Amino acid sequence: MHSAIMPLHSLQSLRAVAALLVLAAHASQIDSRFFSAPVSSGQWILGFAGVDLFFVISGFVMVYITHNKPRGDAHFIGRFAYARFTRIYPVYWFFTALALAAYIAIPGALNRDLADLQIWQSFTLWPIEGDLPVLHVGWTLTHEIYFYLAFTLFLALPERWLPALLALWGGLVIAGSVWLQGLPAIGALIVNPLTIEFILGAAAGMLICSGERRLARAALALAALWLTATAWLIWPENAEAFPAGWARVAAFGVPSMLIVYGAISLEMQGSLKPPGWLVILGDWSYALYLCHLLVLSGLVRVWVSALPDFGPMASLAFLIVAMALSIGVAGAAFRLLEFPVLKATRRLGDRLFEGPHRPRRAPAAHEDPAVQAGQTGSRDG
């Protein structure tokens, strides 16, 4: 029997931070667009670094939950892939359907024409050429699916090969992004520099699984300096100039890796205990990530049509209400939709993969340890 996976409150808390950063960035953009005297002026554009933190977290989790697990075992690989894809798709489909319904019911409500929507690509998370999915944040989930597929293939090989596989993958991404230009959408995805952030997270996972946790405080201090320098370089020139490509990986991927490594190492050493409310927000982070654009888009249109624009106070009031409402809707979506769906897919997975001759798992190797820290501990992430 394989050892149980240690719940990680710090990882779940970092998920909360990532989702809140993205929420703040989008709220700031809407504030700047719809209000005459926006208090944010788009400056929270740096909140999009939450996406980079999510990617690093994903890389860490893939390594951590498969450490010392049976590589090359078809049953384990199948269960792992099933857990990953059922974690992403069902709840995403629900919110994509809501967004599509909004496009149909209220033409122009979300600033796009119905004829321009890439519907099947949106629901499957297939890469889209020069456009966004129906639910805009779905572009990041396309990257996640790519990460999951690649890592699922790695599970067919011995774990000792993982560093070499990740190095080879990273080398191919670097070479492809430099020498291969004008690729179709699927090719551009494969060599996208953001893939390196997943590999950085995997590297953090390998360090922690090897027992190397002594550099936690140094890593966090370096991350703080790194992010301060990034903000100083970006903000004075143009608050809306968010870096792209390799500049983005350097600006936010590297410090995200340092933060993930440092926070988790400190928790494992008993030196860090995140507050419970942040862990709960981490439980809600996926629902918040998926629902917040719908909430913000609906709220701002009701707001500007029903309430006068009374300067900066209107902007500030909108931001407060928008953030609070988005979090509230996410909490309800987690309780009423996401958590029941996860339980149902887990039960189905038990029937599909356990079989009459397989013992009950304790716990399943595919499960994400971070979410065992919150709520009932039965949620797969």
pLDDT at 103: 82
Q: Which structure tokens are listed for 34?
A: 């719809």
Q: Which structure tokens are listed for 310?
A: 């009374």
DSSP state of 299: H
101 CB contacts (<8 Å, ≥6 apart)?
A: none
* Element at 85 (helix H, strand E): helix 74-105
Report the alpha-carbon distance of residue 326 to residue 256 in Å, rounded. 24
Distance from the Cα of residue 18 to its chain's centroid: 7
Burial class (CB in 10 A: 0-12, 13-18, 19+), 215: middle
pLDDT at 370: 45
pLDDT at 32: 84
Sign for the pseudo-dihedral over CA of 364, 369, 372, 378: negative
pLDDT in tens, the chain (381 residues): 344 566 789 999 999 999 999 999 999 889 888 877 777 766 666 788 999 999 999 999 999 999 888 888 888 999 999 999 999 999 999 999 999 998 888 766 556 666 667 888 999 999 988 788 999 999 999 999 999 999 999 999 999 999 999 999 999 999 998 888 878 899 999 999 999 999 999 999 999 999 888 899 999 999 999 998 888 877 655 555 667 789 899 999 999 999 999 999 999 998 889 999 999 999 999 999 999 999 999 999 898 888 877 778 888 999 999 999 999 999 999 999 999 999 999 999 888 887 544 544 434 434 454 444 444 333 333
Report the alpha-carbon distance of residue 121 to residue 132 in Å, rounded. 10
pLDDT at 320: 94
Report the alpha-carbon distance of residue 55 to residue 26 in Å, rounded. 18
Q: First-to-last CA distance in the chain?
A: 22
